[in-house]
Amino acid sequence: MADRDQAMRRAVTSGDATSEWEVDRANTARLGAIIEEIGWPTRSRVGDAAEHAAWLVVQHADHDVPLQRRCLELMRAEPEAEVCLRHLAYLEDRIAVHENRPQRFGTQLAGSAEDGYRAGALADPEHVDELRRSMGLEPLAEYVARAAQLFATGGSARPR
């Protein structure tokens, strides 16, 4: 599922394809069935790579915010060693942005190469780097600079 997700996004970014929402919808449906069967696919249940793939799928399930909320809840209920903390931060922020709320960790960027990238509205700008550090993320300024460099070289149409 993660391979199809990333291949579709690379094709869209390079201009070789338009967005294929059916990939996201099929992946989301499959992930929904998986979590109904086993709960969140934790590191000890499925391994690091598959835990990451499950997060990637739900991160891109923007058409199903209730599923995103459910997965975030399941992830939070797991011991810290079972779920990547960065995944929690990204998903929490992704949901906040969709619900027009400020994000805690500044993982969801807005802008463009022409205008520059920046984090969307932050719940606590004064403490964002401390919050980011607690989740294993680099300081916000470094993240934005790295993202701008990546996307300037064709890494993606927009950081998400």
SS3 38: helix
pLDDT of residue 6: 56
Tell me which residue has tokens 């599922």.
1
pLDDT of residue 160: 42
Could you say which DSSP state residue 158 is in? Answer: S
pLDDT of residue 113: 75
pLDDT of residue 112: 80
- pLDDT tens-place values along the chain, 160 residues long: 666 665 555 655 556 655 666 777 888 999 999 999 999 999 999 999 999 999 999 998 999 999 999 999 999 999 999 999 999 999 999 999 999 999 999 999 998 878 888 999 999 999 999 999 999 999 999 999 998 887 776 554 443 4
pLDDT of residue 114: 81
Taking the CB of residue 130, how many other CB atoms lie within 10 A of it? 10
DSSP string, 50-118: HHHHHHHHHHT-TT-HHHHHHHHHHHHHS-GGGS-HHHHHHHHHHHHHHTT--BSS--SEEEETTTEEE
pTM listed for this prediction: 0.83
